[in-house]
Chain A
């Protein structure tokens, strides 16, 4: 299923907040149909990287090519084909589940039937509830649902399963694998190494805005002779730069 075609190409991305360098000359490529995981501690620059890729933050240096387009230039065309779930999604006060689905669907020239998706995500009985009444897990599922609504070719999921219980997490994994089998590319961040090891085809670990290692989860584990991805992750993120 996977082809050797880069759907996302980032070169020399650099972003500073005042004196703080949040992302430093980052290069990465994501191939069509793969699940790519961007890892790192809180504050390592994951969200900033995603936001620069999507064009919601202006980068200081570098180039981003997403589905062959430049995000801030071709915004309208590009985001018909890109789904995004931000870390912590907020919605308008007093909006109901059904209303946010309808509203989001109206932004796209074509989108999936949200009722079918609500069924798949086991949220059908919450349609008439206010979003603010949902549990953390339900809200998380809703934000993923809204990201996949336009049938995107690439989906960005920032902290995909945070707040989900073990069963809901497994369901989400299955859903993500199913998307991959349909040829959808996924770019995700996560703090759960079991999830990353299970789902991701390739990963990249960030530390203070720079990539310290990238490759398949197996390569990363082998590279430092660790027993699991969690050990390897800790090895790389705690290793002081010499």
Chain B
């Protein structure tokens, strides 16, 4: 327990020092929230809509932190620790390399939660954002989407033979999802064709789910997304455990 605590503390310090996790995971989405707030102000989402553009966009921006930590932070740090044989060094001590992975997972989770909380505060305090649905339900769905994206990140780290491939895979998955899933550019303003293409990304479905809950829409509309997220998580976790290599 003592070592897990110190590991977690160290990993958090290292993440803050490395800047990119903080920039892509926290600064970028909070900045984006301000930008969207200034652009939309209290513009309604379409004629006679019950909610504003800001309320429609919130869930997507709140998910940017999950996307950055899950598809960049998790896989790249795992691949890096394996590449540097840090996991192997842990194997010749009484502690377990599993603890390092756990501490790393907690760290990414913390960054993601801080990111989404700051996005929420920015939207609420600067632009009067109001969550229309249930807060508890939103948090639960948020956790589900987080588990799904982290399991995809673990899958990338497990199947990539080396750090270069891991980097390439992350870039190939991260950027399209970041821009096309509705996290940064609202899904609703995309042309129909692009929307169909974007639907392929798990994060697009995850954001639809988050959006639905944040706008207080009836849950049964999102059963498909819910089941899909759960299924992707299970599949990715099973494959990553099967393929994982310590070195």
Contact surface of A with B, Cβ cutoff 8 Å: 54-56, 75-77, 79-80, 82, 84, 86, 89-95, 99, 102-104, 106-109
Contact = CB atoms under 8 A, between A and B. Distances in A.
A90 B85 contact: yes
Interface string B94-128: 11100000000000000000000000000000000
B228 interface: no
A79 to B, nearest CB: 5
Contacts of A99: 10, 13
B221 interface: no
B10 A95 contact: yes
B6 A103 contact: yes
Contact of A109 (B18, B86, B89, B94): B94
Interface residues of B, number: 25
B85 A86 contact: yes
A103 B18 contact: no
A95 B14 CA distance: 7
A55 B92 CA distance: 8
Contacts of A102: 6, 10
A92 B89 contact: no
Contacts of B17: 94
A108 B85 contact: no
Given A90-B84, A91-B86, A107 B14 contact: no
Interface in B6-22: 6-7, 10-11, 13-14, 17-18
A91 B87 CA distance: 10
B195 to A, nearest CB: 39
B192 interface: no
B166 to A, nearest CB: 15
Contacts, number: 67
Interface of B: 2-3, 6-7, 10-11, 13-14, 17-18, 80-81, 84-86, 88-96, 247
Given A56-B88, A76-B96, A86-B89, 8 more contacts: A92-B10, A92-B84, A93-B18, A93-B80, A95-B14, A99-B10, A102-B6, A106-B3
Give the 3 A-B CB pairs with smallest separation, nearest first: A90-B84, A107-B95, A84-B92
Nearest to B2: A106
B27 to A, nearest CB: 18
Contacts of A86: 85, 88-89, 92
Contacts of B247: 56
Nearest to B15: A94
A80 B94 contact: yes
B7 A103 contact: yes
B14 to A, nearest CB: 5
A107 B86 CA distance: 14
Contacts of A89: 85, 89
Contact of A54 (B2, B18, B86, B92): B92
A219 to B, nearest CB: 31
18 contacts: A56-B88, A56-B92, A75-B94, A76-B94, A76-B96, A79-B92, A84-B92, A86-B89, A86-B92, A90-B84, A94-B18, A102-B6, A103-B3, A103-B10, A106-B7, A106-B95, A107-B93, A108-B94
Contacts of B88: 56, 86
- Name the residue in A54, A76, A90 with the highest tally of chain B Cβ atoms < 10 Å from its Cβ: A90
A148 B80 CA distance: 26
A77 B89 CA distance: 16
Given A103-B6, A107-B3, A109-B94, A93 B14 contact: yes
A79 B92 CA distance: 6
Contact of A92 (B14, B91, B94, B95): B14
A107 B3 CA distance: 5
A79 B14 contact: no
A54 B91 CA distance: 9
A90 B94 contact: no
